[in-house]
Amino acid sequence: MLKFVDIEAKRPDKREASNRRQDWDEVYTDYVSEKAIEQASRCSQCGVPFCQIHCPVQNNIPDWLMLTAAGRLQEAYEVSSATNNFPEICGRICPQDLLCEGNCVIEKGFESVTIGSVERYITDTAFENGWVKPPHPENERPESVGIIGAGPGGLAAAEMLRRLGYQVHVYDRYDRVGGLLIYGIPNFKLEKSIVARRAELLIAAGVEFHLEFEVGRDASLTDLRNQHDAVLIATGAYKARDIKVPGVGLNNIFMAMNYLTASNRKGLGDNVSKFDDGTLNAAGKNVVVIGGGDTAMDCVRTAVRQKAKSVTCLYRRDRVNMPGSLQEVTHAEEEGVTFAWLSAPEAFVGDQSVEGVRVVHIHLGVADASGRQTPQPIAGSSHTLKADLAIKALGFDPEDLPVMFDAPELEVTRWGTVKVDWSSMMTNLDGVFAGGDIVRGASLVVWAIKDGRDAAAAIHRYIAAQAVPITRAT
Ligand code: FAD
Ligand code: SF4
Ligand code: SF4
């Protein structure tokens, strides 16, 4: 260990941008074993590991780095998977610069340990070697838990509850398991097969998936409460924020999720004609994407791969104030995306369909109550950018669950997120728990995993407190 002095930080090889633009494969290649071992050995085994403190699932990072450096990969996998249900997913898509790696305290002048890449390597190796097994509980329990939502939050909870022997039923309105991991996040960040193999493990473990099952349409929340001993709401946040400017109703202006879902479905070989008449495609078009988060970055990079003529990202603040990961911005720039910083849309212009976006330059004024500088339009700075396709990626709010679930008694915050008692993850309804984006607002995969794990533990405590006898497995 402590080799950071002699060994430079090195991520797995990054594919050339010119090649990346041509396909949907992931940006980074796999680590070869020697590199992973070498990179893990850079860790200085801090007594107070800030990397771990800033990892939402509190991964025992120094331990699995040390085991990797010693070539004890199966043990590294066991330590890593003890705190994270999907380490290979987090290793790929966590914004590590904002979490573990951004807080690695290797001495100034040396780059952080490449924690995410090593985490991914450990679990990918575990899959290759057959070490990853479906969880099989020691004892079956008679109680059942209904989970609404098969995104990372719901899936993490499903796995934890199944390990404890509960009969787990997951309901999802989509036709595939994975939530935003499948229909939001594009392949070049997370290949679908990585998610699908996790779904297969859960099915093999006995988790029952009820797909194309929409709570609110196919059953009410009350129905599920009557069927199960506890219910977890992990439905994510899907109500897209819109923008109120003249011309917003023109053709060829789309919400980001519609655009990304169509693209992800095409990649999966689905027939998308029901919701895409061919216009949800950037090929040959001048594309303008509005927004500065992960979703906007996924849209611009999808448009590049669809062979857009030009791709511009409009963001009203500057690069350092982007809500998304800076690593993603760098990838997008390498792939040919133009960033119009400090720029906001004033109007969409065109006759029937959008032909341009009128943009005004922004000056960042004094900080507001949240500490962020307020964007102020600069008078006389308007100009028009050519656009045949505009995509609005302005963030998401939760849907109106009390209405959607026919459960007006379910308490939500003024932002529409479901209210929970954080110490028990329980909502105001007895036996109904919630976690992930529906509680936090649009957030991160790793936070959804943490909530799923916490909710599973809370559900276990709740059911155990009802003192129902345990049935031993035969
Ligand atoms: P979701 O993943 O949204 O899953 C919720 C599930 O509930 C869905 O499958 C949905 O179909 C289902 N559902 C909803 N309502 C009902 C109902 N009434 N009945 C039945 N089922 C229902 N995070 C990162 O960490 N890194 C990234 O790089 C990243 N990129 C992103 C890119 C995009 C385009 C988007 C939109 C998000 C991204 N995120 C990223 C955020 C991350 O995807 C979410 O924070 C995470 O998926 C939340 O997990 P969840 O389980 O709470 O919800
Ligand atoms: Fe870093 Fe995310 Fe892995 Fe935690 S789960 S160690 S934050 S990559
Ligand atoms: Fe190792 Fe960096 Fe974590 Fe310290 S902060 S334990 S050096 S990875």
Q: By CB neighbour count within 10 A (0-12 exposed, 13-18 middle, 19+ buried), where does 410 fall?
A: buried
Same domain flag for 275 and 368: yes
Per-residue DSSP letter, 349:
E
Which residue type does 462 have? Y
H/E stretch holding 36: helix 33-40
Confidence of residue 90 (pLDDT cuts 50, 70, 90): very high
Q: Measure the N-to-C terminal CA separation of the chain; round to a whole number of Å.
A: 47
pLDDT at residue 12, as a whole number = 79
- pLDDT bracket for residue 340 (50, 70, 90): very high
Question: Does residue 225 fall inside a structural domain?
Answer: yes
Same domain membership, residue 154 and residue 121: no
Please enumerate in sequence order all residues whose Cβ is within 8 A of that of 271, keeping only pairs 6 or more positions apart, or say none: none
Q: Are residues 407 and 462 in the same domain?
A: yes
Percent of the chain with pLDDT strictly greater than 90: 78
- Is 157 inside any structural domain? yes
Atom of ligand 2 nearest to the CA of 61: 6
Q: Which H or E run includes 348?
A: strand 343-350
Decide if 207 is inside a domain: yes
Q: Which ligand 2 atom is nearest residue 91's CA?
A: 8
In a domain, 301, yes or no: yes
Q: Determine if ligand 1 sits within 6 Å of the CB of residue 94.
A: yes
- How many angstroms from the chain centroid is the CA of residue 9? 26
3-state DSSP assignment of residue 194: helix
Q: Which residues pair with 208 in a beta bridge?
A: 169
Other C-beta atoms lying within 10 Å of the C-beta of residue 129: 11
Residues within 6 Å of ligand 3 by CB: 43-46, 49-51, 61-62, 104-106, 113, 115
Checking if the pLDDT of 326 tops 60, the result is yes
Q: Which two tokens stand for residue 83?
A: 């705190």
Dist. CA 269–CA 167, nearest whole Å: 33
As a dihedral over the C-alpha atoms of residue 325, residue 360, residue 346, residue 294, rounded to 10 degrees, the angle is 0
Query: 294 with 397: CB under 8 angstroms?
Result: no
Ligand closest to 42 (CA) is 3
Angstrom CA distances, 45 to 51, 113, 115, stand at 10, 11, 13
Q: Which ligand 1 atom sits nearest the alpha carbon of residue 237?
A: 3
Q: Can you give the pLDDT at residue 149?
A: 98
Torsions phi, psi for 295 (to 5 deg): -65, -45
CATH number for the domain spanning 270: value is: 3.50.50.60
Domain boundary among 365, 394, 423: 394
239-240 and 396-397 strand pairing: antiparallel
Q: Which of 394, 417, 442 is the last residue of a domain?
A: 394
Counting ligands in written order, the one closest to the CA of 106 is 3
Q: Are residues 295 and 263 in the same domain?
A: yes
Residues with a CB atom less than 6 Å from ligand 2: 55, 57, 59, 61, 84, 90-91, 94, 96, 99-100, 115-116, 119, 446
Same domain, 310 and 265: yes
User: What is the residue whose two structure tokens read 């049935």?
Assistant: 471
Tens of pLDDT, residues 432-443:
999 999 999 999
**Per the domain annotation, does 27 fall within a domain?**
yes
Q: Is 154 in the pocket of ligand 1 (CB under 6 A)?
A: yes
Residue closest via CA to ligand 3's atom 1 equals 43
Name the closest ligand to CA 256. 1
pLDDT surpassing 90 at residue 196: yes
- CB count in 10 Å sphere of residue 351: 8
- Give the model confidence (pLDDT) of 223-245 as tens digits: 999 999 999 999 999 999 999 99
Query: Within a domain: residue 135?
Result: no
Domain identity same for 413 and 370: no
Q: Which ligand sits closest to the CA of 156?
A: 1
Per the structure, the complete domain to which residue 280 belongs is given by 242-394
**Domain final residue pick, 101, 128, 155:** 128
**Strands (DSSP E) found in 113-166:** 144-148
pLDDT at 1 over 70: no
Q: Confirm whether 322 is domain-assigned.
A: yes
287 with 366, same domain?
yes
Supply the pLDDT for residue 105: 80
Mean of per-residue pLDDT scores for the chain: 92
Alpha-carbon separation of residue 308 from 211, 272, 300, 344 (angstroms): 34, 20, 9, 22
Measured from the CA of 440, which atom of ligand 1 is nearest? 52
Strand order in the sheet with 167-172: 208-211, 167-172, 144-148, 230-233, 432-434
Distance CA 149, CA 435 (A): 10
The H or E element spanning position 334 is helix 326-334
Within 188-325, where are the H helices?
Answer: 192-204, 221-227, 256-267, 294-305
Give nearest CA residue, ligand 2 atom 7.
Answer: 55
Q: Which residues of 215-243 are buried (b: 16+ CB within 10 A; e: fewer)?
A: bbeebebeebbeebbbbbbbbbbbebeee
For ligand 1, pick from 233, 445, 451, 453 the residue to mutate: most ligand atoms within 8 Å of CB.
445
Residue type, 40: A
Please report whether residue 436 resides in a domain.
Answer: yes
The residues with which 344 forms a beta bridge, in sequence order, are 360
Co-location of 327 and 403 in the same domain = no
Nearest to 142 by CA among 229, 202, 207: 229
CATH number of 39's domain: 1.10.1060.10
User: Does 342 lie in the same domain as 373?
Assistant: yes
The per-residue pLDDT for 324 is 78
Question: Residue 366: its pLDDT value, please?
Answer: 83
Residue of 96, 124, 294, 451 with the most ligand 2 atoms within 8 Å of its CB, for mutation = 96
Q: What's the confidence (pLDDT) of residue 29?
A: 81
DSSP state of 252: T
Give the number of domains in the chain.
Answer: 3
Same domain for 16 and 91, yes or no, is yes
Best mutation site among 52, 80, 117, 119 for ligand 2 pocket (most ligand atoms within 8 Å of CB): 119
β-sheet bridge partners, residue 236? none
Ligand 1 center from residue 171 Cα (angstroms): 14
Q: Tell me what pLDDT residue 279 has.
A: 87
**Are 350 and 417 part of one and the same domain?**
no
Model confidence band, residue 387 (pLDDT cutoffs 50, 70, 90): very high
Q: Which of 28, 52, 77, 84 to mutate to test the pocket of ligand 2 (most atoms within 8 A of CB)?
A: 84
- 377 shares its domain with 303: yes
Residue 274 has what pLDDT? 83
What would the pLDDT profile of 43-68 be if each residue is shown by its tens digit?
989 999 999 999 999 999 999 999 99
